[in-house]
Amino acid sequence: MNDNSNSRPSTSPTGRSSLVPRQIQNAESTQNYDKAACDHFNTFLSVEKKLPSIDKLTYEDVEEENAVIILTDFLDWLQTNPYLNRNTTEPRPLAEGSAKGYFCRVRVILSKTFPSHPWLKEPEVEHMSWWKDLVASFTSSLRRTQHNMEEPIDDKTFPLYRDLRNRTYRPLTIGSTSKDATTSNIDLTFIQRQLFQNPSPSHYNKMSYIATTYHADGRGGEVKFLKWNEFRYDPFLRCTVGLWREAKTLMRYAMCFVHMRYGPETYLTDFYFCMFLHIVMADGLIRPANAFENRGSGADCTFFELQKKKKDAVTKVLTSTIRRSIPKDLQKHYSAKSLRYGATTTLRIHRDINDTEETNRSGHASGSNSDRYVDRNNPMNTLPGGLGLCEYQDCHMAPAAPTFFSLGPENVEVFNKFIDKLVHYDPHFTNLFGREGKLRPMIEEVVASAIMYFNDIRVDHPSHEIIHKLVTVGNDCDIGRNEMSAMQQLVAWSTKLKESFVTASLVEDGSNHQMVLSAL
């Protein structure tokens, strides 16, 4: 082998990455590099993932995207964790060449250890988008990260609660601007309202990321791992259930998504309404041509537009979105972490949520050995926490849901036609969202939610494009059936859906019926 360090490295048939420096691509150097790389990787696995060393990893530890998550997080860990060697008196970050070499060697070792793994298989892995994107951003990401480490960081993070209008003397209601914001009144509703008032596909998507992360009590980057084919609808619990991936522990568990209990502007933080924004207003179910033929493209992921971003980059998207509506002098106190702080605190003080139900929702370890025996596919584990975050008093009941069946049997078919005209999706998703699809009930509730909030939006934002969108599609489908205009029919449907949903919520929740009904 030519040891000229200026020559261009190439991919060898033995699985050596083209990104490994040329000087280590010989047997002796590779052996030394492997040992050093494995030492760093084993420390990372033990400290960050609570996993065994690389020689004891099982296929289950790295199954499916877990391998990608592990390597992505290892790259971040290499960039941000100083270490002490015999030549230094103080810990310092790894040099760029060393970090790159260790990272690439670990991937090669994993590929050899799990040769049948679809995401690690040689030589295909060299051409997979997830790997190419990681290594393409390696140098710039490393330098940016280590530069930021030298700057003082204020790590005082404030929580973002869903709505503070009844808990502060100066609530940020409609018409409020960032000039009115203080650390005592900034809430999630205000952040979402700023996005909603400036409609665009990008803002709709960001509203859905934020709402989903809050309701899952998740970390900032975890929202990117949701996949449509891992969702299901539970007819008994009347909610959609997805598989949530804990990026830190790699655990996956069933996550119930519940409708917000009705109240002023709850549509801004309702998971189902925000999914309407993503799916309908931002065409979130459309994919580029041949996307499903490219392994690793993430075409089956819920938020496809996030798949080219690393987990930490997704976290930064949430953080920058949150800070955009906040005065500059307060921005340092708010980040994607604020969503998790707010959600966890909300569950902690809820009188009907115990410690186990709180950690089931957030994914935090309880410290008990019984954690390993929990059936993580049981949606009942996360349902109480979901109800608590949606502000129900009783968190041990089947939640209510707006459904087009409450509109009467004469409207069932016209409502289906309305959905078919309104919701566009890639043909690959037909078995999920078509009329016989397993997630059709979810789509029905997503659209029903938008219609339920139709009258509220007309009052709060009279000229919003959602109103025009629903009326236009309603006219195309003749939802009024020559008896009334589409606008009149939507107003009638909105009134009926809201009354039905609120009444059902009250029956289940055991609340004061008259007090809430008077708000309708």
pLDDT tens string 177-215: 888 888 889 999 999 999 999 999 999 999 999 999 999
Burial of 166 (0-12, 13-18, 19+ CB in 10 A): exposed
**Residue 367, token pair as written in the block:** 């410290």
Minimal CA–CA distance to 325: which of 153, 462, 172? 172
- Confirm if 253 and 423 have CB atoms less than 8 A apart: no
Please indicate, yes or no, whether residues 70 and 27 belong to a single structural domain of this protein.
yes
The reply to whether 493 falls in a domain is: yes
Please indicate, yes or no, whether residues 143 and 233 belong to a single structural domain of this protein.
no
- Confirm if 399 and 270 have CB atoms less than 8 A apart: no
The pLDDT tens digits for 256-278 are 999 999 999 999 999 999 999 99
CA-to-CA separations, 358 to 35, 244, 495, in angstroms, rounded: 41, 15, 35
The reply to whether 173 falls in a domain is: no
Question: Model pTM?
Answer: 0.77
Residues in the chain: 520
Please indicate, yes or no, whether residues 421 and 502 belong to a single structural domain of this protein.
yes
Structural domain count, the chain: 2
Residue 81 CB contacts under 8 Å (≥ 6 apart), including other chains: 44, 93
Please indicate, yes or no, whether residues 418 and 306 belong to a single structural domain of this protein.
yes
Q: Given this model, what pLDDT does residue 369 score?
A: 57
Residue 369 CB contacts under 8 Å (≥ 6 apart), including other chains: none
The reply to whether 13 falls in a domain is: no
464 lies in which domain range? 178-517
Q: Given this model, what pLDDT does residue 510 score?
A: 58
The pLDDT tens digits for 502-519 are 998 887 665 544 444 444
Q: Given this model, what pLDDT does residue 224 score?
A: 93
CATH of the domain at 479: 1.10.443
397: which strand partners?
none
Please indicate, yes or no, whether residues 233 and 271 belong to a single structural domain of this protein.
yes
* Spatial separation of the C-alpha atoms in residues 298 and 228, rounded to whole Å: 11
The reply to whether 112 falls in a domain is: yes
Q: Given this model, what pLDDT does residue 502 score?
A: 94
Please indicate, yes or no, whether residues 137 and 224 belong to a single structural domain of this protein.
no
At how many degrees (to 10) do helices 66-80 and 138-149 cross? 50
**Residue 249, token pair as written in the block:** 């522990």
* Spatial separation of the C-alpha atoms in residues 434 and 179, rounded to whole Å: 46
The reply to whether 171 falls in a domain is: no
At how many degrees (to 10) do helices 201-216 and 311-323 cross? 110
Please indicate, yes or no, whether residues 133 and 214 belong to a single structural domain of this protein.
no
pLDDT means per 10 residues, the chain with 520 residues, are 38 40 51 83 83 89 84 79 51 70 88 90 85 76 51 68 88 88 92 97 98 96 94 94 84 93 96 98 94 78 90 92 94 95 95 92 70 75 96 93 88 93 96 96 97 98 98 94 91 96 79 46
Burial code (b: 16+ CB inside 10 Å, e: under 16) for 463-493 equals: eeebbeebbebbeebebbeeeeebbebbbbb
The reply to whether 63 falls in a domain is: yes
Distance, CA of 103 to chain centre = 26
Please indicate, yes or no, whether residues 374 and 242 belong to a single structural domain of this protein.
yes
Please indicate, yes or no, whether residues 78 and 197 belong to a single structural domain of this protein.
no
The reply to whether 487 falls in a domain is: yes
Minimal CA–CA distance to 102: which of 19, 23, 36? 36
Q: Given this model, what pLDDT does residue 47 score?
A: 78
Question: Quick one: residue 206, left, alpha or beta (phi over 0 = left, psi -120 to 50 = alpha)?
Answer: alpha
CA-to-CA separations, 343 to 161, 187, 221, 259, in angstroms, rounded: 7, 12, 16, 16
Please indicate, yes or no, whether residues 484 and 352 belong to a single structural domain of this protein.
yes
Q: Given this model, what pLDDT does residue 1 score?
A: 39
Please indicate, yes or no, whether residues 144 and 189 belong to a single structural domain of this protein.
no
Please indicate, yes or no, whether residues 331 and 476 belong to a single structural domain of this protein.
yes
Minimal CA–CA distance to 52: which of 117, 368, 367, 44? 44
The reply to whether 229 falls in a domain is: yes
For 247-313, the DSSP string reads TTT--EEEEEE-PPPP-TTGGGT-HHHHHHIIIIIS-TT---TTGGGSTTS-TTBSSGGGTTS-HHH
Burial code (b: 16+ CB inside 10 Å, e: under 16) for 251-278 equals: bbbbbbbbbbbbbebbbbbbbbbbbbbb
